């Protein structure tokens, strides 16, 4: 077999890949023992690049040399060598396929089309990871502010930030939301966001909330000396989502929020890269579970919640934390945060926002897992505090301060009644859930 024939094969050694020109996808495939996955993987590579289920005249050797995807490796777990036991009914495989960057370009829609695409309908196949060459990531601006930029806006150089989600989630008029916003800000919340379930509602508009909440933000700042970012939920259909964003910025809103999977990653990217939208953007994770929760199908959580929204420019990404009501493994939680914060070419790091039934007692755990470059998000844990939302916010700030100083919450609570009340109220609120 000559060099041209080898180059046209959907097959390559890992050592033979030009990683500057190829994206690498890693898959988990779990299939009945009789299915020959090593052979099938070659068909998948062809299917997701130059060819189809039958040879076609236009798929020339020249086309294949330049554009065919290549299987880098197929590894079975466990790694049978001399025979497969008769008792084995299902065989599990790790498959790595290299995709020519030229096929995809510097964009997310074709990335998902090529690396996930029809493979997602092929049974128990899950995308475990994606490795990007620098030339691919160079096509993205990434977070406009990132961790350092958000900290600079708020004047908070080191400690974790505190976020409050206004509760109830939806159904309340502007006057009710405004009072909840004021109390949460007075309690020391650095960021206050709309719940994902309220956007430009007929009973409570984006424009109305921005005008009133930003008036309150100024009033609270004059009283406390602390600024609050308000992330108004601009989620909507196209083009209204862009209209919502631009109108909110024109009215003085200092941050935005978007349900990024519901509207689509390219929509969020267009917003984050718009020079006229010069405020941080918080990305909410709703719908994400439909993409990553299956152990055998979809994409891994660190892609859906971490690498992809960071690529699309999110400054803060809401992620489920393993301490509250969210069913998530601690290692997965930390891996998502790693994909948001570790070096990724030129992209700034994004803030991971631990969320999902968080109470003050969970603050040391969250900081122990992720450090201080974290946003701690709480809705009910602030608004349902027995002494009200102001006390709820203070209890969280006290928990953060105690942890920063290396003091146990129980010790710190002796001189801080808001924290003491919270610790007594929520010992382990989700113990009955089995998380």
Among residues 70, 193, 284, 307, the one annotated as catalytic is 284
3-class state of residue 259 by DSSP: strand
Among residues 144, 167, 383, 416, the one annotated as catalytic is 167
| DSSP single-letter state for residue 324 | T
pLDDT for residue 52:
79
Segment 111-120 shows an average pLDDT of 95
Segment 245-255 shows an average pLDDT of 98
In this predicted model, what pLDDT tens digit does every residue of 201-226 receive, in sequence order? 999 999 999 999 999 999 999 999 99
CA distance linking residue 56 with residue 390, whole number of Å: 68
3-class state of residue 274 by DSSP: coil
| DSSP single-letter state for residue 197 | T
CA distance linking residue 9 with residue 266, whole number of Å: 33
3-class state of residue 354 by DSSP: strand
Q: Nearest to residue 15, comparing CAs of 73, 81, 99?
A: 73
pLDDT for residue 62 is more than 60: yes
Report in angstroms the alpha-carbon separations of 206 from 212, 230, 351, 429: 10, 12, 24, 33
pTM, rounded to two decimals: 0.95
Is 338 a catalytic site residue? no
pLDDT for residue 242 is more than 90: yes
Instruction: Return phi, psi of residue 91, to 5°.
Output: -115, 135
3-class state of residue 344 by DSSP: strand
Q: pLDDT over 70 for what percent of the chain? A: 97
User: If you average pLDDT over every residue of the chain, what do you get?
Assistant: 95
pLDDT for residue 435:
46
Is 284 a catalytic site residue? yes
CA distance linking residue 285 with residue 259, whole number of Å: 6
Strand partners, 31: 91
pLDDT for residue 431:
55
CA distance linking residue 7 with residue 293, whole number of Å: 37
Segment 252-273 shows an average pLDDT of 98
Structural domains of the chain in order of their starting residue, each with its CATH number: 3-137 (3.30.70.150), 146-426 (3.20.20.110)
3-class state of residue 91 by DSSP: strand
Tokens, residue 129? 């990871």
Q: Can you say how many angstroms the Cα of residue 367 is from the centroid of all Cα atoms in its chain?
A: 18
In this predicted model, what pLDDT tens digit does every residue of 319-370 receive, in sequence order? 999 998 888 999 999 999 999 999 999 999 999 999 999 999 999 999 999 9
């Amino acid at each position: 077999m000559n060099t041209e024939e080898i180059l046209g094969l959907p097959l390559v050694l890992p050592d033979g890949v030009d990683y500057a020109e190829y994206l690498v996808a890693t898959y988990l495939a779990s299939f009945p023992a009789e299915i020959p996955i090593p052979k099938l993987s070659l068909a998948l590579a062809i299917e997701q690049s130059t060819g189809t289920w039958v040879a076609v005249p236009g798929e020339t050797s020249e086309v294949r040399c330049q554009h065919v995807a290549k299987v880098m490796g197929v590894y079975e777990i466990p790694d049978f060598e001399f025979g497969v036991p008769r008792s084995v009914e299902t065989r599990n495989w790790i498959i790595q396929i290299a995709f020519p960057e030229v096929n995809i370009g510097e964009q997310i829609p074709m990335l998902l089309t090529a690396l996930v695409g029809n493979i997602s309908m092929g049974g128990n196949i899950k995308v475990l990871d994606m490795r990007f060459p620098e030339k691919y990531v160079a096509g993205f601006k990434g977070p406009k502010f990132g961790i350092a930029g958000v900290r600079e806006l708020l004047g908070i150089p080191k400690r974790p930030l505190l976020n409050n989600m206004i509760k109830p989630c939806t159904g309340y008029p502007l006057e009710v939301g405004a009072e909840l916003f004021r109390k949460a800000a007075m309690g020391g919340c650095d960021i206050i966001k709309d719940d994902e379930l309220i956007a430009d509602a007929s009973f409570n508009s984006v424009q109305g909330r921005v005008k009133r909440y930003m008036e309150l933000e100024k009033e609270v700042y004059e009283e406390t000396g602390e600024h609050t970012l308000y992330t108004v939920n601009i989620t909507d259909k196209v083009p209204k989502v862009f209209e919502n964003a631009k109108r909110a910025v024109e009215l003085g809103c200092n941050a935005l929020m978007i349900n990024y999977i519901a509207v689509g990653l390219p929509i969020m990217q267009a917003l984050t890269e718009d020079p006229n939208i010069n405020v941080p953007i918080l990305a909410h994770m709703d719908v994400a579970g439909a993409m990553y929760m299956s152990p055998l199908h979809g994409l891994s959580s660190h892609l859906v919640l971490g690498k992809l929204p960071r690529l699309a420019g999110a400054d803060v990404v809401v992620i489920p934390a393993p301490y509250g009501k969210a069913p998530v493994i601690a290692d997965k939680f930390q891996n998502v945060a790693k994909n948001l914060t570790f070096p990724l070419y030129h992209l700034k790091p994004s803030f991971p926002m631990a969320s999902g039934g968080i109470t003050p007692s969970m603050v040391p755990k969250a900081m122990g897992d992720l450090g201080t470059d974290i946003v701690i998000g709480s809705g009910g844990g602030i608004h349902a505090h027995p002494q009200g939302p102001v006390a709820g916010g203070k209890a969280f700030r006290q928990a953060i301060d105690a942890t920063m100083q290396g003091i146990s919450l129980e010790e710190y609570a002796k001189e801080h009644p808001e924290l003491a009340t919270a610790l007594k109220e929520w010992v382990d609120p989700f113990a009955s859930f089995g998380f």
